[in-house]
Chain A
Amino acid sequence: MSEGNGRTPGGRAVIRISGLTKSFGEQTVVNIDELVLGSKRVEGLIGPNGAGKTTLMRLIMRSTKADTGTVTLDDGSTEVVLSKLAPHRIASLGVVKTNQVTQDFAGLTIWDSLLLAVAQRRDERPHRIYRERHVVETYGEEIQGYLDTFEFSEPGGFAHSAGEKKLLDLIRCLLLNPKILLLDEPTAGLSEEVTAQVIEMLRTKVAEGMSVIIVEHDLDVIWGFSDIVHFMAEGDVILEGDPAYIRAHSTVVEKYLGSGHV
């Protein structure tokens, strides 16, 4: 919704990663030479625990700082170096991420939380103390649409369960109308029914032009939803291909699928 969110008609925005490394102490968690994310509509990111999937996403969002390397957003006409921007600027440019670990605002109700997501910088000035009506009138319907799709036990109150908070996290991100949405295990802890609803919602958004990069342990979601799958191990993407190719690849089977993971 914020500045710079209009999609350029010329092609999809992609994230270019180059020479990106991150270590915690002795352990190298991410070490990627070259990687382009977002050139297909839906890209899956899989790999064993500790492969660096979540860290890679956090590095893109700059919620953790890289040791070396650059991350660039290229929307076909302009290139912006994300790895020099503050996290809120990255989100403003249309690169947004949902959270693996449930995140919520303790003091805000469901409606509050969603109105926060849609409110623009100009709505949030200290002197705009009568701006609420405008925000509700402008975005209320869009929010209500999401609340009609997904069931919350008490939409006027606070999110109660972890599942509700997870959904809220996703809806907040969708309300930002991202160009590229990074999803870190979006369906973990959700029922099968809600998972299906979430995927359905995401498909609609993708059809409207949003790109999705998804980390997910529920591999049925990955195989069914992704156009291309990146397989990560030991901090690097070692294989890329369509779901059928990755699914059948001996390395993946050996390192990941065969190990009884999932």
Chain B
Amino acid sequence: MDFIAKAVIIGLTEQAPLVLAAMGMALIYNLSKVINVAFAETITLGAYFAQWVNVSFGASFYLSLAVSGILAGVLSCVTYLVVFRTADRRGVGVVEVIIISLGLSVLLRYSLQFVFGTEARFFETPPPTFMKLFDVGFTSFQLTAFILVVVLALLIYLFVQKTVWGRRVRALASDADLAKVSGINPLLTTLVMWFIAGAAGGLAGAFWGVASSAKPGLGWDRFLLTLLVVLVGGTRGLRGVILAGMGTGVLLSALKLEIAPLRAEIVLLVAFILVLKLRGNRFRELAKV
């Protein structure tokens, strides 16, 4: 019981941003059928934006969070308009779009180093208070982050499930031509989704950044896990992504309680690979031979 409680608390507080990042990536994946490797850089930039606003303007973490989310959302829209929309219009294949997004990721990651340098950049936040639950220590900051992530995830979920935008997105994702005929503006709808996705990624980055620091590899280091959560959980919609994200956090912290952290990550990746393998055939029914 103690072990489970520990794993759950550490997993949820430490990996809460993963849920947010995975939701963002899943929104793009479901709508545009694109795995966007450069989403890693949206996360990184979220951290940098928040740190910049926080330190340069002396803004509170919460204000810098809001600004960072908006800026990351705008960046996401720009990458859609400049790169992914062009690729879509030119009929570029799936693997090629992935490679393009890899190129964009590399381009952004290294261009950023001209702006922000390679050194880790730290936030200026009031020292957190330490708390305990079931003998597990965590900071007030982690708790706030966790609550904020839950609220934000819920907002995104409700937005996609309950508002008119969500219906438009689902219509667009299932049949673009039909959606256009029924009066949905595809560009606007797509931009709204890419904005929300980018904002979610940026906020995740800001939370990760404030927990450690903003640095060039922040997003890339977390990209693979985010991608796996999206692919494994995404088959069951946003709810699946949220569950897979939380499950991954808990599983990882449980493993780390038992074995060395690097080995825990290896075990987690092997588990993900096996899950991918096991549900592999599910989408193959479409081939019309």
Contacts and interface: CB of A to CB of B under 8 A. Distances in A.
A64 B289 CA distance: 9
B288 interface: yes
Nearest to B289: A63
B180 to A, nearest CB: 24
Interface in B85-100: none
Interface in A63-99: 63-65, 87, 97, 99
Contacts of B289: 58, 61, 63, 87, 97, 99, 103
Max count, chain A CB within 10 A of own CB: residue among B285, B287, B289: B289
A101 interface: yes
Contacts of A99: 288-289
Contacts of A87: 289
Interface string B271-289: 0000000000000010111
Contacts of B285: 64-65
Interface string B246-289: 00000000000000000000000000000000000000010111
A128 B175 CA distance: 46
Interface residues of B, number: 4
Q: How big is chain A's contact interface, by range? A: 10 to 19
A99 B287 CA distance: 11
A18 B287 CA distance: 25
Interface in A37-70: 58, 61, 63-65
A97 B287 CA distance: 14
Contacts of B287: 63
Nearest to A101: B288
B162 to A, nearest CB: 24
A177 B289 CA distance: 19
B282 to A, nearest CB: 11
Contacts of A65: 285
Contacts of B288: 63, 99-101, 103
Contacts of A64: 285
Interface string A195-224: 000000000000000000000000000000
Contacts of A100: 288
A78 B288 CA distance: 30
Interface string B205-221: 00000000000000000
A19 B285 CA distance: 21
Nearest to A61: B289
A87 B285 CA distance: 13
Interface in A86-135: 87, 97, 99-101, 103
A57 to B, nearest CB: 10
A100 to B, nearest CB: 8
B227 to A, nearest CB: 28
B104 to A, nearest CB: 26
Interface in B23-69: none
Nearest to A97: B289
Interface string B119-154: 000000000000000000000000000000000000
A100 B288 CA distance: 9
Nearest to A63: B289
B95 to A, nearest CB: 13
15 contacts: A58-B289, A61-B289, A63-B287, A63-B288, A63-B289, A64-B285, A65-B285, A87-B289, A97-B289, A99-B288, A99-B289, A100-B288, A101-B288, A103-B288, A103-B289
Given A87-B289, A100-B288, 12 more contacts: A58-B289, A61-B289, A63-B287, A63-B288, A63-B289, A64-B285, A65-B285, A97-B289, A99-B288, A99-B289, A103-B288, A103-B289
Interface of B: 285, 287-289
6 tightest A-B CB contacts, nearest first: A63-B289, A101-B288, A99-B289, A64-B285, A103-B289, A63-B287
